[in-house]
Amino acid sequence: MGKYFGTDGFRGEAGVNLTADHAYKVGRFLGWYYNALRERSGNNEPARIVIGKDTRQSGDMLEAALTAGLCSVGADVESLGVLPTPAVAYLVKKYNADAGVVISASHNPMEFNGIKIFAGTGYKLPDDVENEIEKHIDNDCADIPLATGASVGRVSVRADGLQDYVDHLYESVNGDLSGLNICIDCANGASAAVAQKLFPRLGAKCTFIGITPDGANINKDVGSTHLDNLEKAVVEGGFDCGIAFDGDADRCLACDEKGQEIDGDKIIALLAMNMKEKGCLDGNTAVVTVMSNLGFIKFMESQGIRTEKTAVGDRYVLENMRENGYAIGGEQSGHVILLHHSTTGDGELTA
């Protein structure tokens, strides 16, 4: 844990301890860093950075500042608009960009925001690079030269990101949800547009709630941190189940037809069992954190599935999975990583 960066990026209250000035300096470092990597490899083309965000009101401010920082040192920016965090992790690799940035504070209230950074591989930046960013923030980026004239970076908008991501999810799931009647809570966040394209395409009959973001209502009494409204809607509406995402859709929680919560441990257990049946549970192991309860461990044992525990934080789960070749891991909070299809937790893929 650094001064600014925690286990999931740079988080803070927008305008207080995560300001436009912070975002500008992060952008200035990233542009300089990735331009330098290109130069060392003999590529003199400017670095390309893609940026996505959730629906928070402060997202526009932080994106503008981040973009200014990137362009000020000669990097080009492609704005993806409102998209889930896992969409950016997927698209940065698909579009062969140098890095991808998500402006989001995930499940937190609207007054907070954050900056998550993915390398071109789709994986989060290593600690040593985040530490370098922090040093340059505190040094006002004094040793990073500014671009001038024709070397200043350019900004463009990519409108194909949403459809490319929906297609990726559809092809990854490769299933048929016909006959299911589902209530889906999008938390007034980044999943709203994606979910409304994806789940009906998979054949499900869907009712959506939390799909009217106004910049201030993200995660407010909706989504995976407020399941009571979804649970009530499922029971009253006679749905087969309910699905809830958080603001940037990297988490998924659910409830059954009786309105009973299905937390991350239960979701991981269900998926791991299914993967074992299909012969794709690599290492016959699911990776969880120390927060997972003993009941989960015992149930996995009864199914002949091993478990490994890590410190709390999805980055530690992912590290273990990559080091040991495991295919599934996650947290009670509903942050589930399915490494055959995604480099980070993906709520809609999980659902």
pLDDT for position 318:
95
Classify residue 348 as exposed, middle or buried by CB count within 10 Å of its CB (0-12, 13-18, 19+): buried
pLDDT of residue 293: 86
333 is catalytic: no
Which residue is it, tokens 């990776």? 287
Model pLDDT, residue 21? 97
pLDDT in tens, the chain (351 residues): 578 888 789 999 999 999 999 999 999 999 999 999 999 999 989 999 999 999 999 999 999 999 999 999 999 999 999 999 999 999 999 999 999 999 999 999 999 999 999 999 999 988 899 999 999 999 988 999 999 999 999 999 999 999 999 999 999 998 999 999 999 999 999 999 999 999 999 999 999 999 999 999 999 999 999 999 999 999 999 999 999 999 999 999 999 999 999 999 999 999 999 999 999 999 999 999 999 889 999 999 999 999 999 999 888 999 999 999 999 999 999 999 999 999 999 999 999
Residue 210 is predicted with a pLDDT of: 97
> Which residue in 72, 104, 106, 224 is the catalytic one?
106
Query: Is-contact 319 310, C-beta < 8 A?
Result: yes
What order do you get walking across the sheet with 285-289 strand by strand? 306-310, 285-289, 328-330, 336-338
pLDDT at 1: 58
According to DSSP, the β-strands at 48-53 and 76-82 are parallel
